[in-house]
Chain A
């Protein structure tokens, strides 16, 4: 059954490339080419139909479906047939250090319905990825996104593909924009709003840590988007890593959100996300993170010391939660101690949360973005166009690095 779905949705994912190639047997160069491109053409059309189907339903998968073999899953596969030309780049949604995320639609929609279907396409230039030494991180990002595709609160990577000089991740478009923008505009969130968002994050962390063995490592309001229905979607898995029961050492994250063990380089694991989660809840309620200074070294000094001070108006439950999460000693940190995420869910601050209903997106979010149609980008800022003169991805580079990108 699952295989059948897979075949319908993407019969020509790159994993079946071998079969396809061997089925082409023709001595005539010219007709060979034509036939190949005919087949390729058909494969592309099939693939695009699959995308449209997903976009039409967009129903989150159950944890069991998410865990399925990537080849049997409706989303998250690597496609050998998709190309950038299949998509019309409508508008830039955001830029990161080396990526640009575009709102896209099919460049040749079959009908009006398909014209309305949009995605976010994250494009990374191989040259930049290599120059900024992010090869490992980008691979982790794709693989983790593939593994978790379909979770209700994580942006779904529908498919990934590559061409000579770029890597592409096709994501569900999340039209509400960043929680960051809402938070800065509102200055801070009230308790019910903070609880709702925090609770959805708990479900994400529970899933990533306890089901996938993945540490996310860059939790912050900038990386949390709001979808059309007011639920959260976590984006940017650039630092996510499957750690399982081994600690890892590479420093990464965002200064205000770094955990003490990351700064001290004593080895870190999924516990860093619980620390960052404490910082996040604090920032929701207060409007700025607990540790701050203009000089980043002073931030780190405060983090390592780990003394959080609370505004006197903050509720005792919220303080207790944040103190539990922002505990320097990982063997005492809430979320990392016995019970894991369940212990966080049981905290009194989350007393009013119905966790079952929440996972199934049955609880109404506090902000429902007001949108004019599915392709509305009013919640995103304007960005400078991409600079035209790009460093070329040379043959030598391709010989040296393409092996690293082969999963894409």
Chain B
């Protein structure tokens, strides 16, 4: 009679462990081994049981029933807080998402979130109702009904996403400029309004915003019944409606199908000032719906690569500019490139109109400034002429990083100015006290730097 295979497996596993560990107390080692096996086997068994009993979407999942030592037992702190009863602290309203949606729900939001069980939505493009202009809420849609956390959470494995690779190094060489399509002032302001509530656009500075709006390209839609985007197709463009109107259809299968019913059901429509397909500005994902013209219309289109490249180029240039400015500041001369790039990343851009007193003589200094654009003058009490003038690339207030001494002079903008600024607290949070960094210049104090504040983790030398 042969030994049961399970037994043989256990024994050979034990043999391996013994060979590896070479224990002194063999019996104790074996006993421990089997106890560990038992414990882990039981835990796994219970786990799979629990798995079978819960519904596929994890709704109403039972609380853990594991014995004390298992890895999944609810910790004391969480013992009463079932997932389905997750309590929010600040807001007691129950909403569809675990986080607050503080933005106003638009018709399409409701359309999407009130389709429970439609996990397929997860990977598709979104829509936004026009800021102004007509938008007909689809009839089937009720109030943003409360979906209890977590029944709508998609528990499946999540796939990674990626956009085409963007490389600023090459763009610096090939002198890329974004496409420019002229628009009337009215068109400009309409487009501005159309994207005003879209978070992808609200963070843009004036220059980026002008470039993005300039890059929007007019796209006439000659008749009704033209499918501008098709559900399930790859998406490269974002659209804003200039005039005309479009219906939105969603097929439950996740893609447009042939035949008269292939469009699926109508979930909404968009008119002038509305927009659709903005997920295409992030990466290439299948379209969430089919959008069909209902009359002759005009659209503005923007493609992802142009959009992201505009953003990248301006961010890239700004960082290099800041790093360049920082190199000129003697106080910071000993920063490593790594540290400099961290500070450049932390610099905040601020704009002031002409005639603003940016720092005031006698105040306790908090921040350091680099003049990025415009001009400023330096005044000292008791002197009625400016004692100095600042232009692009000049910096001031850097002593504030070092100590709390009062400002030695005032700086007043003579034109509209743009400054890059960083507070002492921000600097210290990133790199520690400036004193430590200055001390590096002084060879007699090198040791102090070596043993503690070596802040460049990429320097392998020490």
Q: List 25 A-B contacts (CB under 8 A).
A: A187-B54, A187-B58, A190-B78, A210-B458, A251-B163, A252-B163, A255-B158, A255-B161, A265-B308, A265-B311, A288-B153, A293-B101, A293-B113, A294-B118, A294-B154, A295-B113, A298-B101, A298-B109, A302-B99, A304-B203, A308-B99, A313-B79, A369-B44, A370-B37, A372-B5
Whether, in the assembled complex, A24 has its beta carbon less than 8 Å from a beta carbon of chain B, the answer is no
- A408: which B residues are within 8 A, CB to CB? none
Q: Is the CB of A245 within 8 A of B98?
A: no
- The distance from the CB of B69 to the nearest CB of chain A, in whole angstroms, is 9
Complex: A249 Cα to B307 Cα, angstroms = 13
Whether, in the assembled complex, B74 has its beta carbon less than 8 Å from a beta carbon of chain A, the answer is yes
Q: Is the CB of A337 within 8 A of B430?
A: yes
- B345: which A residues are within 8 A, CB to CB? 247, 267, 330-331
- The distance from the CB of A404 to the nearest CB of chain B, in whole angstroms, is 13
Taking CB atoms and an 8 Å cut-off, the chain B residues in 120-176 that contact chain A are: 121-126, 149-150, 152-155, 157-168
Whether, in the assembled complex, B253 has its beta carbon less than 8 Å from a beta carbon of chain A, the answer is no
Main secondary structure of the interface of A (DSSP, over half): loop
* Contact A252:B282 (CB < 8 A) given known A294-B121, A310-B89: no
| Chain A binder among B80-88, B373-381, B406-414, B442-450 | B80-88
Residues of A within 8 A of B (CB): 67, 96-97, 133-134, 136-137, 180, 182, 184-193, 209-211, 213, 218, 220, 222, 238-239, 244-247, 249-256, 263-267, 285-288, 290-298, 300-302, 304-305, 307-315, 330-332, 336-338, 340, 366-370, 372-373
Chain B residues bordering chain A, tally (CB within 8 A): 106
Taking CB atoms and an 8 Å cut-off, the chain B residues in 249-294 that contact chain A are: 278-279, 282-283, 285, 288
Complex: A295 Cα to B111 Cα, angstroms = 11
- A209: which B residues are within 8 A, CB to CB? 457
Complex: A218 Cα to B168 Cα, angstroms = 22
Complex: A121 Cα to B426 Cα, angstroms = 47
Whether, in the assembled complex, B399 has its beta carbon less than 8 Å from a beta carbon of chain A, the answer is no
Whether, in the assembled complex, B22 has its beta carbon less than 8 Å from a beta carbon of chain A, the answer is no
* Contact A309:B282 (CB < 8 A) given known A191-B77, A267-B315, A294-B112: no
Q: Is the CB of B74 within 8 A of A190?
A: yes
Those 3 A-B pairs whose CB atoms lie nearest each other, nearest first: A366-B71, A331-B346, A313-B81
Residues of B within 8 A of A (CB): 5-6, 9, 12-13, 36-37, 40-41, 43-44, 47-48, 50-51, 54, 58, 61, 64, 71-75, 77-81, 83, 86-91, 96-103, 109, 112-113, 115, 118-119, 121-126, 149-150, 152-155, 157-168, 199-200, 203, 278-279, 282-283, 285, 288, 308, 311-312, 315-316, 319, 336-338, 341-342, 345-346, 426, 428-432, 455, 457-458, 460
Of A97, A187, A288, most buried by chain B (CB within 10 Å of CB) is A187
- The distance from the CB of B12 to the nearest CB of chain A, in whole angstroms, is 8
Complex: A357 Cα to B311 Cα, angstroms = 45
Complex: A310 Cα to B90 Cα, angstroms = 10
Complex: A31 Cα to B161 Cα, angstroms = 52
- B338: which A residues are within 8 A, CB to CB? 244-245
With beta carbons under 8 angstroms apart, the residue of A182, A307, A368 that contacts B47 is: A182
- The distance from the CB of B80 to the nearest CB of chain A, in whole angstroms, is 7
- The distance from the CB of A294 to the nearest CB of chain B, in whole angstroms, is 4
Q: Is the CB of A372 within 8 A of B315?
A: no
Q: Is the CB of B123 within 8 A of A238?
A: no
Q: Is the CB of A210 within 8 A of B457?
A: yes
* Contact A133:B71 (CB < 8 A) given known A209-B457, A301-B103, A311-B87: no
**Closest residue of A by beta carbon distance from B69:** A366
Q: Is the CB of B162 within 8 A of A137?
A: yes
Q: Is the CB of B71 within 8 A of A367?
A: yes
- The distance from the CB of B94 to the nearest CB of chain A, in whole angstroms, is 12
